Amino acid sequence: MQDRPTAVELLTAVREFIEMDLVPGLEGRQRFHGLVAANVLAIVARELAGEETALVAEWRRLRDLLAVDETVPPGRLDGLRAAVRELTQRLCERIRAGDADAGAFGDAVRAHVRMTVVEKLRIANPKYVGAPE
């Protein structure tokens, strides 16, 4: 791990340079691509800044939903990603089997999916969801 500037600080600096120094002097297609590049950097910075927190929250929701007998999420980020993928696959299998069509489990699945989408929108475009819940 590096000290300062952090990866998020570097991404932010490049994004600000593109937005403030480059884009104002561009027109047409180049301006559009400059704005797209700045937006991509903003998305990556938000994802880096909040990925672990969001994954832990998703892992906990999935653990509770699927009654997994684990109390602590995987400690490393790559392990956490893999665990969330595996639990999501298990949830998908249960949805395909019709387990979430009605009742309390179905309600819990819809709540989980809604929260997961909101968390992803906070990364992709926070304007769509507003302040954190």
pLDDT, tens only, 11-40? 999 999 999 999 999 999 999 999 999 999
Using pLDDT thresholds of 50, 70 and 90, give the confidence band for residue 132: low
The DSSP code for 101 is S
Across 114-127, average pLDDT: 92
Residue 75 has pLDDT above 90, yes or no: no
Predicted TM-score (pTM) of the model is: 0.78
d(CA 109, CA 101): 9
Residue 94 has pLDDT above 90, yes or no: yes
Q: Where are the alpha helices (DSSP H) in the chain?
A: 7-17, 28-65, 77-96, 103-124
